[in-house]
Structure 1
């Protein structure tokens, strides 16, 4: 059984105009008919009731393509009202021009065919009730009208389906065009990031390397404190430039987010001598490139802040794919052999919290350093992390205390 299709807005508006025009024409014909005033007022009231029923309920049902009890009741009411006006005023049989197409818009195909046959039988019944007119002639006209109405209904259904398919195709084309534009934008952003990474690598990184080499050649033992300070500063900035290159270059994620974050922790240990413990929870899964870039950059920036400010003895990096069981979420990153690496939290809420979203990915970087005032911190690094998190609908949380160190957590729905 084929359900009615929702009429496109343009066709629905045309149908409303057609319906009102036929009703007005029939009402005018009723007014010009030479009959009693009672019949005229009864017929005009019935026509007005049909218009009111269509305007308040029927039009909305046709636009939504509903096929339920309400649409069946509305169609049945129209047929009953049509029967009343046709019996009272035979000229009102012209309303078949709206009853027949309406049946195919309000009901399934089988129900609509039955409704069309019933509506075309109304004039025959009216002849039998009033005793006027030729029953045989009206039967022939009803048969022709019903056949033509059913064929018209099939045509109406086909037109609505074609219009709906065309509208869906246009929507798909527009969505495809938007997707192409998005991909082109991402390709342009990736190309620009690659260019910037190359520029940083070829200029700043190489320059810092040259400075370190020249200073150490002039004073291999770095006995001069000023030269030693210059070398330390150059090394810190070299590490920062390398982090920027890793963040900008698409190759930073060639092996996936999990391996990339693990490498960042290992690189931190190699460059600073501070142990960075890495662990992951949950089942790793593929993520959109934009989300992976934001998570990787958050880990890089947090580790950079630890290197520059925390004076930490140990760092923990957690990559958690939800759903994360509560025990795993609150577990310490330190191995059993070094239980004091991360001080035990005062309460469960100070441990790694469970993700807010039931489907998300978190990167958490904790250190046991000196901490800072998280409320007053307004550095570029944290602002940048927050801005990138907002771009992908994520949330950045920073907790810091002189006794327990600092925790930077970025959660992204994914």
Structure 2
């Protein structure tokens, strides 16, 4: 499968070939410089390395820091061979490599982004500036314009290449999410045509028969509601590593648990959303344990002012003053760790409002960012 990076590597290959031809033309126009044989030897090395890198960078398994390091060593070596070819410099002349030395800078930028591209530009520029400062070189000014162009090439190409990589990753994730959504819809149709209809029939017939069958019918109704909610939900994680807390909370909906959440997503980092949903699950477990398995409970979720708040409320016997502290001292850490501990780790707060005989309300808030 062709990756989005491949066009960048092909562009670098074209640049190397064109720059190699330009360096050969310069050598011919200069009559071979002071040492023609040495000049053509350097051009030969550049040609061989151009062919090698065109092949190496086209193979994904070969792209890596060893190849980048070798590319830079060959480029700097050919660049520093300029005095052996040209002898004493003349004002305004190009090195034996011409613009070919920019190929390594472009390769580093495509591989590692703008920062690595800038590092490569710095290395080549320092070698070029040192070359122009060789004693007897005859330059009174240094080629600052060439240095600036190298930095611009490395940074701009690296930045664009990195953006292209991210775009490809997000596109792939979007394709996977779309495929997951289609599969979910297919399963939902199959489940609706079979399992949900059976559960609805069991619920209805159980209520008609009564007795123990009524209990089976009630359980079937709860499972039907939970299963309908499950097949309705969209995939949790987005392409940015976030999750919709509403999706996670709706999983707790049943015949006894009512979940009320906004129609718009409550987007949180995936890990934060998972921990907050786990804290809500712990609160609902406490309701079932202390109020009874059939006790009704309500879950309310909202986002406002940079906070996401979830409230779990029941109409049970309430919590006596000091009871939570006594439970924590006795080693029963359901509220202390499963709820308060989780939310505290997320940088949030937990407020417990309870009066004996009036139910309990647990409010959990975490930063939305």
- What's the TM-score, normalizing by structure 2? 0.44
